[in-house]
Each structure stands twice: as C-alpha cells, then as structure tokens.
Amino acid sequence: MKNTIAERIADFLKRYPPFLSLSYAELLEIASEVRILSLEKNKTLFQIGDPCHTDFYVIKDGAVGLSITSDAEETLIDRCAEGDILGLRPFFAKNNYLLTAKAREETIIFAIPILIFQKILLRNEEVLSFLLESFASNTRNPYDKEHKGKLISENVIYSDQQSEIQYFQSIDYSEKPLLATADAIAKDIAQMMTDNNIGSVIIQNNNLPIGIVTDKDLRTKIATGRFPITVEVGKIMVSPVITVPEDLSLAEAQLYMLKYDVDYLCVTLDGTAKSEIKGIISENDLVEAQANNLGVLIKEIKRGHSSKDLKRSREKLSELIESSLANDIPLPQITNIAGEVNMALIKRAIDIAILEMGSPPVRFAWLAIGSQGRKEQLLLTDQDSFLVFEDVANDKYRDVKDYFLKLARRVTTTLNRVGYQSSPEGNIASNILWCNSLSVWISQYGKWINTPGENSDAISRTFFDYEFAYGDIAIEEAITTVIFKDIREKKKFFGYLGNDALKKPPALGFFKQFNVEEDGENKDLFDIKNRALAPLIDAARLLILSQNIKGVNNTYYRFRQLAVSEPKYAELYLECADAFITLSQFRTESGIKNDNNGQYINLEELSKTDKAKLKHTFTVIKEVQDLIKNRFALTYFS
C-alpha cells in the first residue's frame, strides 16, 4: 500500500541539501519514520542544557530562532526557515544543547530519527560530509557562499569564526602509541594497556600498521569467552586499521570515525597503511580538542570526582577566557559562559559533598552572592554564598543546621582547592551566621530592609545580589517574594543603599589625576574594583531594586533592563552598561597578565587612548551618582 504522507515528505526533502543527494528509495525510508511536529509561536523545541534528542529537525513551514538567554536579555543567533536543518548536535557531540530553539511563528517541523538516518548516512559520504561541515562551520549550507558563516547548529554560542578555525585546524595526536606484533598474547596486551592507561594497541609488522586491538575487543572477544586470554592478538585484532595523515583536521577526524564507526585512527607518515606509524588519535583526543566548547567543559565538570578534577576544569575556563579576549569576543558573551561554568563548579562541589555525607535531612537552597551571584566572576576571586534550609521543628533544628554547616564546610573547602578563596568578610555558607532556616533568613532580610545599618554593616548589600545555585528553587523564590514585597516604598532602605553607593573612594583627585594607592604593596596602582566598578555595581543594584525588577542580577544586564523600564534615562543607563564592560575588560586583562584578581592595575601600562577610555567611565559614574543623589534626596556627605 502506498504511503501518501511519506511520499509528500520525501518530495519535500528532496528539494533541499543534503537530502537531494539521496535516492528516492532512501528518502522514502526516512520519510516513513518522520514525525510531524506543530509548534505554536514562542513554543520551545529544545533549550540550553536539555539532553540531546533522538531526532534532528527540518523546517517544513514557519521559522525557528536559535538564541542565547542570559538574565534579562535574549540574543538571537540565527533564524531558520523552510528547508533548514537544526538539532545536529546528537550526531557529533555527546553533550547537551547549547542554544535554545524557539518557534518565531506557527511552524511545522519534520522530526527525523537519528538512528534511521545514520544507517543511510554511513553509506553516503557526500551527505555525511555536508552535515559534518554544517555542524563544524556553523553554516546552513557549507557550500553556499551566501549563507557562509550563518549559524545552523547549536554547536557553539559565541564565535562562528573561532569555531570554524577550531574545527579545521590540525588535531594533536599521541606520538607514543602502544605497539605490538600479531603473535603477542592477549593477556600481555591487556596488561600493557592497563599499565599505561591507554585503550588501544596498534599491531604492526616492520613498523607498518596491520591492525589494532582496543579495550572494546578485550571486552567483546575475551571477557565473553569467545577467545581464551592466551590467544594471539592477530586473531582478535581489527584489520585493517583506519590510517590517516599527520595534518588531519578535527573535522576530518570526526568524519573518518563516523564513516568507519571506529574510536581510533592510526596516524602514518603518508596516511596509508604502507608507511611508518607516527601516532594515534582517539575519540578522547577529539573531546580534548573541543575542550573550549562550553558543553564539553560543563559535561567534564559534572563527571568530576574531586577538587583536583574541578580545578583542572576551572583552568580550562581561564584558558577559554584568555583566548576569547584575544579573539575580541564581546565581554558580555564571555561573562555568560564563565557564569555558567562557575555555577556548574559550585553544583558539582555540592554534589560531591552530598555523596560523601549522605542525603540532606530536609530541602535546602545554596545561593551564590557577590560577583558569583551577579555572574561577573571571570577571574579567580572570592567565593561568597549562603545556605537556606526549610523550617523544621525546634527539637530538630540543631541537628539539621549541624548537617548543613558540615556540608557547607566540605563545599567551601573544595572550592578553596579549586582556587576560589573564601570571602574575607566571612560571607560564606560555612559561617554559622549564614547557614539558617528559611524563617531566620526572612527575618534577617527584614532587619536589613527595615532597619538598615543597625547591627550590620555595608557588607549586607551583597546579599541582595544572589543567584540560585543548587537545591530547591522554591526556597529561593520564597525569599525573593518577601524581599520585593518588603522593599516597596522603603525610603530609608534605599537611602542607606544610596549613601553607601556615594561613599566609594573617588577615582580622580582635585586636579583630575588618577587617585592611586599611596603606600603598601599596591603603591602607585589604581584600585579599579573599589574606585570604578563598585560604584556602578552599587548603583545598578539600588536602581533595579527601587524599580522592583526581579531576576536581573548582572550589573551589565541591570543597566540594560533599566534602559527599557526608564526610557527617559535610557542613554545614561546604556552608557553605564558600556562603562561597566570597559572597566571589567581592563580588570580581566590585568588579572590574566599578572595572574591575580585584577583589582589593582598599573596605569603606566595603559596607552593614552586606554587612559582616556578609563576617564570617560568616571564621567558616566558621576552622572549616575548625580541621578541617585537627586532621586533619593541624598548628598555626597549623608
């Protein structure tokens, strides 16, 4: 019986690459397994962090936007329309989606099962090459000059050009592969692989590759009893081994592994089995080559078992930040990436602690505050946090709090070892003051809001910059609800925050010269954190709270949101956002150069242009401080 629907789908697919390279019989085979999805406008197909689907997608009618969402701002990366493919990540990477796909209008989508398509894919090198290059170079059609550089896959989230360079540069390989002859005994080969912690041995004859034995072969052929442990490896090796030349690119390596369904490639002098062995490429090498891919890095963090593992991941983030700055990637995009990675590190540190201690006695929430809470931590600065657990009966309170204090100490110790030093002010979840029940925390925020400055100091302001990191989101939402209810019309509270914002040490002296440190180890250096960044951070916090705007913590995005909510001052707020990015870039570059937190910068190392840019930010700071002074009826000496 004819399948009319399948024929219609096949007729549609054959008009677009890569399907136009397939036979009609193959198209019908695919089309008979296709699911038809109908998405209403703004309906999400998949979003950042979702596990990869078992399908990839072709748009029949309508349009789908691929975007990044961070705090209050959604950045549209690309718009896919009729005939475009998306959702290719499951073909080429074993991690979650890195972009959100959302219908821009009513849309009909064909969902094509990957398992069905893979069978056909491996028989059609042209189609495989098309999809691989689409994924690697982020193009809707890699052979179409008009669309070159347009993002098609949710491959990376910040740099088309950088990704393309990455995928087509030569891949590093191991130059010391394990070698053996065909008459070697399987038991000895297994011991050799175990001793060297390597999953493969190339079988050679006169240094020419004739086969390969992998840990998979030992599992499927020896462990199952098909062959004895004393068998010669020539009888269990895979032959011929797939050989490649030395200058192989990452994209080509992926192509070979997919085409031949192997996890290892043997590198030879001329790329054939008739020339000497030079090394080996493993699937792990491909993962390492993509280590600056956000999804790969976060997956690595989730697999970490110790502070040593997490520290290694944090070092990779530092490398990613440095390379991104060198490639002129916009700082807000770098900050988004760093914020997600930092949160993943916190989450994993908590996971590890819970695995060691056992399940928590009640629900709780771990909240990051300060620069982590604002997702502004590019460098290895302090860790600030607090912990909230749900209310319990009085007779259980002490034991429950004791558990969470012990948990917090484990977590903060792990993060210390990763490189995040504890807050010098003691604003950390392992502090007995900052590990409490929900009711205690609600009472504490009430005191800060209703009697600001009493029995507290200015440090309390940082507790209004928090980001949910782990646990039960409902607990964080309960605190947020109470805060935004209590702060309405609280002139005294806003006056306190406003005065605090105006009291920061001035950046310029009487004669418009930079105010630098006069003594100590930072003598003659400029404190960019306290004299320039802090006034903007404080101003953004005060203004966003006074507007009763929830869920926007990052200083840059706070000013961007304020520009929307107060069009009258939009120009000033946007200038503040730009100034914050400029100052953050100065601090980050200084921190990377000097291997520190970047708080103090050497003005002598700045060009005349950079000094002018720096001074311009002070003008913007003065203008927003004047706005605060007038709006909240303050003086600089209040």
Residue 74 φ then ψ, to 5° = -110, 125
Mean pLDDT of 144-158: 38
Top-confidence residue, 636 or 228: 228
Q: Are 171 and 286 in contact (CB under 8 A)?
A: yes
| CA distances in angstroms from 622 to 333, 498, 530, 546, listed in the order given | 27, 13, 14, 19
- For residue 71, pLDDT over 50 is answered with no
* Architecture of the structural domain at 294-483: 2-Layer Sandwich (3.30)
Highest mean pLDDT among 94-98, 141-145, 316-320: 316-320
Q: Are 62 and 88 in contact (CB under 8 A)?
A: no
Mean pLDDT of 349-361: 92
**pLDDT at residue number 148:** 38
Mean pLDDT computed over every residue of the chain: 83
**pLDDT at residue number 173:** 83
**pLDDT at residue number 159:** 33
- For residue 291, pLDDT over 80 is answered with no
**pLDDT at residue number 290:** 59
For strands 200-205 and 179-180, give the pairing.
parallel
Contacts of 583 (CB under 8 A, 6+ apart): 528, 532, 533, 536, 614, 617
How far apart CA 336 and CA 326 sit, in angstroms, is 17
Mean pLDDT of 6-25: 86
**pLDDT at residue number 257:** 80
Least trusted range by pLDDT, from 2-6, 181-185, 607-611: 2-6
Would you say the CATH fold of 294-483 matches that of 179-289? no
Top-confidence residue, 411 or 332: 411
* pLDDT (tens digit per residue) in 503-546: 877 788 766 788 888 888 889 899 999 999 999 999 999 999 99
Mean pLDDT of 413-425: 89
**CATH class of the region 179-289:** alpha beta
**pLDDT at residue number 137:** 45
CA of residue 206 relative to chain centroid, distance? 47
- For residue 349, pLDDT over 50 is answered with yes
- For residue 147, pLDDT over 60 is answered with no
How far apart CA 550 and CA 71 sit, in angstroms, is 10
* pLDDT (tens digit per residue) in 26-68: 889 889 999 999 998 889 999 887 888 889 899 998 888 887 6
**pLDDT at residue number 459:** 53
pLDDT > 70 in the chain, percent: 85
**pLDDT at residue number 197:** 85
Least trusted range by pLDDT, from 199-203, 271-275, 481-485: 271-275
pLDDT > 90 in the chain, percent: 40
**pLDDT at residue number 130:** 66
* pLDDT (tens digit per residue) in 454-508: 655 555 788 999 999 999 999 999 999 999 998 887 888 888 888 888 887 778 8
- For residue 179, pLDDT over 90 is answered with yes
**Domain coordinates in residue numbering, the chain:** 4-157, 179-289, 294-483, 497-631
- For residue 601, pLDDT over 60 is answered with yes
Edge-to-edge strands, sheet with 277-282: 243-244, 264-268, 277-282
**pLDDT at residue number 508:** 80
Q: Categorize the per-residue pLDDT at 579 as very low, low, confident or very high, splitting at 50, 70 and 90.
A: very high
Residue type at position 195? D
Least trusted range by pLDDT, from 274-278, 319-323, 427-431: 319-323
How far apart CA 439 and CA 217 sit, in angstroms, is 59
Least trusted range by pLDDT, from 105-119, 193-207, 239-253, 449-463: 449-463
**pLDDT at residue number 142:** 46
- For residue 20, pLDDT over 70 is answered with yes
- For residue 387, pLDDT over 50 is answered with yes
- For residue 155, pLDDT over 50 is answered with no
Work out the end-to-end distance of the chain between its first and last CA atoms, rounded to an integer number of angstroms: 86
**pLDDT at residue number 160:** 35
- For residue 611, pLDDT over 60 is answered with yes
**pLDDT at residue number 34:** 92
**pLDDT at residue number 69:** 57
**pLDDT at residue number 628:** 92
**pLDDT at residue number 470:** 92
- For residue 618, pLDDT over 80 is answered with yes
How far apart CA 120 and CA 117 sit, in angstroms, is 5
Mean pLDDT of 203-207: 93
Question: The domain 4-157: what is its CATH number?
Answer: 2.60.120.10
Largest CA distance in the chain: 90
**pLDDT at residue number 489:** 77
Verify cis geometry, omega within 30 degrees of 0, for the bond prior to 18: yes
